[in-house]
């Protein structure tokens, strides 16, 4: 497969002072596309995924599947998968280190091969994100689990129904368990599951494949079947990309209409923006308009599992609140190491102090351009939008993080009137 994705050595020059105006088309969800791509392993039949964003994480997932012998054809945002033959039931260290979502291969590989060998996960350095809940589930479902030499070795010993309760709410743990149980032709129950829209999108796919899944609160009742079928599915819009542009609109005193969005997925983001002083209007079923110009009101935010305020929007709102008229507080309850962008924002003049999992943001009059480094996927987007309102130029380095999760982010910003230039390192 030929890729036009850019190298990790590139950087962005962002010139401050632009006002974002116009329309922007939101891409398909990265966090929905990844598990759906991996779910194709559950069937021997062909599947088609529509509106899959062209991202580094998608490219890495395709490479992961191709290394297992899966045939994949990509045309734009359409991906056709032929998983008839699996020649390798191993997710190598090289693949998994690049992307944590590779651990989702455990469930489908156990279904197709009866065994799986998966490297310990990598991805953004935003916290430990242990996979003990995945392994506890598999052990309860009759799978032998051994961890050695940096790999997880799993072998399915029996097919049985389970009634399993997650100790904590985990998105990838829920997804792994749902995919595995979709092939068990007995009734199983999962308790304390994640309810993120991306999980619900995977459930819709598993239903199309033939599994009977009911959701009651945070409980899933699964009646699987062994001969799962292929599917055709359009991925939901990316709520985090949408939220990032919404913050950018208000931050720059702009006026943006977002197309291809699902308002119900954005409830907590919309509420926070309105509380901060933004105007958010529903133009149609799948269009939202965001506009307004300061003063930005301070907020108290706590990240929570869906439907609470998403951890993936914490960095972007920290930028917004850096220019608020007063003192704001952000409490990070999901990942213990997700304030790495604080030091980069302080380079730009932000007044932020961190105590444990709490950040205290004192609004300043303005930010100034500086050279900053992306520390993770969402922080990279936050630093770019900070550059939009900073005086002078901001250089954002390590933008491979950005390319992992935002499709044509700099091009979309430029279309809205931003001055953003992508350059290769010398």
Instruction: Tell me which residues are annotated as active site.
Output: 124
What angle, 0 to 180 degrees and rounded to 10, lies between the N-to-C axes of helices 132-140 and 171-181? 20
The CA R_g of the chain, rounded to the nearest whole Å, is 21
Burial degree of 425 (CB within 10 A; 0-12, 13-18, 19+) = exposed
Question: d(Cα 73, Cα 53) in Å, to the nearest integer?
Answer: 14
Q: Which run of H or E residues covers position 145? A: strand 143-148
Q: What is the edge-to-edge ordering of all strands in the sheet holding 90-91? A: 90-91, 115-119, 151-156, 143-148
DSSP for residue 159: -
How many secondary structure helices (H) and strands (E) does the chain include?
Answer: 14, 24
Q: What is the DSSP string of 345-397?
A: HHHTT-EEEEETTEEEEE--S--B--EEE--SHHHHHHHHHHHHHSBSEEEEE
Q: CA-CA distance, 251 to 272, in Å (whole number)?
A: 13
What one-character-per-residue DSSP string does 109-122 give?
HHHHHSEEEEEPP-
């Amino acid at each position: 497969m030929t890729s036009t994705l850019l190298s990790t050595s590139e950087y962005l020059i962002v010139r401050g002072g632009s006002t974002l105006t116009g329309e922007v088309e939101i891409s398909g969800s990265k966090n929905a596309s990844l598990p759906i791509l991996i779910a194709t392993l559950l069937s021997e039949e062909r599947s088609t995924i529509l509106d899959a964003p062209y991202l580094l994480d998608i490219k890495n997932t395709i490479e992961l599947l191709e290394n297992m012998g899966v045939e994949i054809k990509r045309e734009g945002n359409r991906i056709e998968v032929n998983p008839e033959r699996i020649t390798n039931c191993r997710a190598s260290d090289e693949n998994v280190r690049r992307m944590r979502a590779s651990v989702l291969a455990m469930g489908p590989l156990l279904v197709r091969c009866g065994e799986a060998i998966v490297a310990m996960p990598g991805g953004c350095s935003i916290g430990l994100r242990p996979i003990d809940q995945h392994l506890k589930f598999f052990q309860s479902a009759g799978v032998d689990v051994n961890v050695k030499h940096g790999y997880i070795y799993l072998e399915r010993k029996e097919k049985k129904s389970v009634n399993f309760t997650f100790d904590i709410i985990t998105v990838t743990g829920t997804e792994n368990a749902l995919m595995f149980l979709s092939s068990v032709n007995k009734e199983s129950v999962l308790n304390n599951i994640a309810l993120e829209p991306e999980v619900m999108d995977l459930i819709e796919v598993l239903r199309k494949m033939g599994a009977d899944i009911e959701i009651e609160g945070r409980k899933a009742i699964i009646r699987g079947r062994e001969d799962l079928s292929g599917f055709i599915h359009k991925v939901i819009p990316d709520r985090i990309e949408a939220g990032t542009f919404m913050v950018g609109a208000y931050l720059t005193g702009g006026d943006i209409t977002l197309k291809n969005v699902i308002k119900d997925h954005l409830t907590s983001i919309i509420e926070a923006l309105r509380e901060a002083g933004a105007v958010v209007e529903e133009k149609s079923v799948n269009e939202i308009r965001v506009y307004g110009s300061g003063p930005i009101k301070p907020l108290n935010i706590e990240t929570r599992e869906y439907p609470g305020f998403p951890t993936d929007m914490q960095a972007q709102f920290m930028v917004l609140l850096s220019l608020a008229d007063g003192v704001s507080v952000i409490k990070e309850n999901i990942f213990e190491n997700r304030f790495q962008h604080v030091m980069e924002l302080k380079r730009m003049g932000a007044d932020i102090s961190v105590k444990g999992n709490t950040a205290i943001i004192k609004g300043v009059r303005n930010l100034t351009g500086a050279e900053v480094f992306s520390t993770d996927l969402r922080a990279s987007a936050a630093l770019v939008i900070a550059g939009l309102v900073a005086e002078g130029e901001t250089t954002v380095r390590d933008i491979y993080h950005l390319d992992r999760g935002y499709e044509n982010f700099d091009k979309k910003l430029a279309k809205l009137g931003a001055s953003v230039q992508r350059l290769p390192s010398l």
